[in-house]
Amino acid sequence: MNNHVTFSERKSPLPRPALVLVFLIIAITVAAAQKAISTKGLPSLDRPLAQSPVLPDGQDVINLTTDLVSVAVSVTDRGGRPIAGLQRESFKIYDDKVEQPISFFSEEDTPASVGILFDTSGSMSGDTIERAKQALARFIQTSHPQDEFFLIGFNSSPHLLLERARDGNAVLAHFTHVQPAGNTALYDAVDMGVDEVSQGVYPKHAIVLISDGEENNSRCSFGKLRRKLQESGVVVYTVKIGGPPLPNSIGRMVMDQSIGRMVMDQIAAISGGKAFWPANSERMDDALEQIALDLRRQYSIAYRPSNFVADGKLHRVKVTLAIPRELSRELIVRNRQGYYAVRKIKAR
C-alpha cells in the first residue's frame, strides 16, 4: 500500500493552461529565493528508507539555555497522504501573527520516541483489543526501524508496561493476556505518556492514544493536560475505537461516545497531531499505517521569536505554505497550536 505522494507528483485539479501558469509562478518565486523546490519523492515501503545515525542511549548532551522554538509540521493532501519535497522557502511561520525567520529546517526521515497508550478499561471489549493489536502490528512494521517505544496501559490508573524498547514484538506481546477492567484515567495516561517520551533518546516525540475516549477517573484536569501538551511539543495521534452501544443504554452511550470523540479531537489538535475514528478493522489498519507514515515525513522547523521575553504567557504558532493558493488550498498543514514563553534548559 503506497499512501504517500510528493509535492511534484500530485495531480492538480486545474485545467492544463492554468496548470502551466501555476508552475511558472512557482518558478519565479523559487528563483527569487535562489533555491528550487525539490521534487524528491517518498521511497516506496518495499525498499529500505534512508536511516540517520542513532545517538547511543548514554551519550551526553550539552546543557543549553535557549529560546529556540521547535515545531513539528505535517503536510498532507485532503486524502491524508503526506507531501514530500517541500523546502524551507515553501513555509512561513508566525508567532502571535508576526512572521519569524526560520532558523532550522529539516525533512529527514529520522527515528522517534513513541509512546503507545492503550485503554484496557472495562468499557473496552476483548475483540476490540485484539483488532487494535493487529493494527499496531502494521504500525510497527511501517515505523522507522530504529524507533523506540514506550507502552502504557491504563484503566483506573496508567501503568508503564515497557520502556525504550526497539523490539516491536515486545510491544505486541503485552496484549496477549489483556483483561479489560476498571475505570478510565485517560488524562492521567496522556500526562504520563508526555513525561516518558520527553525523556526519550530522540528529539522527535509522539504519542499514539488508542481508546474509546471515555474519561472518569483522572487526577489530572483537562486544563492542566492542555498546558503540558503546549509546553512539551509532543505530537499526539488519537485513535477512537470501541464497540456499538448496548440496546438498553443507547442514549447514554451515544452521548458518551460523542464526548469521547470531542476529547480525543481536542487532544490531537492542541498538539498538532491528528484524530482518527476508524469504523472497522480495515480502517483501523489504515489509520495506524497513516500515523507511522506521518511521523516519518514530518518537517522540523525551528525559530527564535523576535523580542523573546520569558513571561510565561501563551504564544500562538501558525505555519502556512508559501506556494500559490491554487495548490496550497488542496493541502492541509498541521502543527502544535502554541507554546508558553518560558526559558528552558535542555538536558538529557
Whole-number average pLDDT of the chain: 81
The amino acid at residue 318 is K
Coil, strand or helix at 320: strand
Share of the chain above pLDDT 70, in %: 75
User: Mind listing the pLDDT tens digit for each residue in 4-51?
Assistant: 555 544 444 444 444 434 443 444 344 444 333 333 333 333 333 344
pLDDT for the residue 50: 40
Strand partners, 48: none
Q: What is the mean pLDDT of residues 218-226?
A: 96
Q: How far apart are the first and last CA of the chain?
A: 38
Closest CA to 53 of 186, 144, 149, 173: 144
Which element (helix H / strand E) includes 271?
A: helix 250-271
* Pairwise CA distance, residues 155 & 220, whole Å: 14
- The Cα 99–Cα 29 span in angstroms is 18
What single letter denotes the amino acid at residue 123?
S
Q: Identify the three-state secondary structure at position 95.
A: strand
Question: Cell digits for 321?
Answer: 505554505
Using CB atoms within 10 Å of the CB of residue 162, give its burial: 0 to 12 exposed, 13 to 18 middle, 19+ buried. middle
Report the greatest alpha carbon distance in the chain.
Answer: 66
**Distances from the Cα of 326 to the Cα of 25, 33, 73, angstroms:** 11, 20, 21
**pLDDT confidence of residue 2:** 52
Query: Which residue, among 180, 176, 172, 177, has the nearest Cα to 151 in the 3D structure?
Result: 172
Q: Give SS3 for 25.
A: helix
Within the chain, strands assigned E span 5-6, 64-66, 69-77, 83-84, 91-95, 98-100, 102-106, 113-119, 148-154, 158-165, 205-211, 235-240, 275-276, 299-303, 314-321, 331-334, 338-340, 344-346
Question: Per mean pLDDT, which range of 157-161, 257-261, 267-271, 329-333 is the poorest?
Answer: 257-261
Structure-model confidence comparison of residues 187 and 58, the more confident one: 187
- For residue 155, which of 129, 104, 189 has the smallest C-alpha distance? 189
Please name each of the domains of the chain with its CATH number.
Answer: 6-108+298-346 (no CATH), 113-296 (3.40.50.410)
The span from the CA of 288 to the CA of 278, in Å, is 10
More confident of the two residues 246 and 198? 198
Question: pLDDT confidence of 132, banded at 50, 70, 90?
Answer: confident
Amino acid at 96: D
Average pLDDT over residues 235-254: 65
Q: What is the CA radius of gyration of the chain?
A: 21
Rounded to whole angstroms, how far apart are CA atoms 340 and 322? Answer: 26
pLDDT value of residue 179 = 86
Please list the residues that pair with 299 across neighbouring strands: 73
What pLDDT does 243 receive? 52
Each residue's pLDDT tens digit, 275-316? 999 988 899 999 999 999 999 999 999 999 987 888 888 999
pLDDT for 257: 64
The x, y and z cell numbers of residue 12, run together, are 492538480
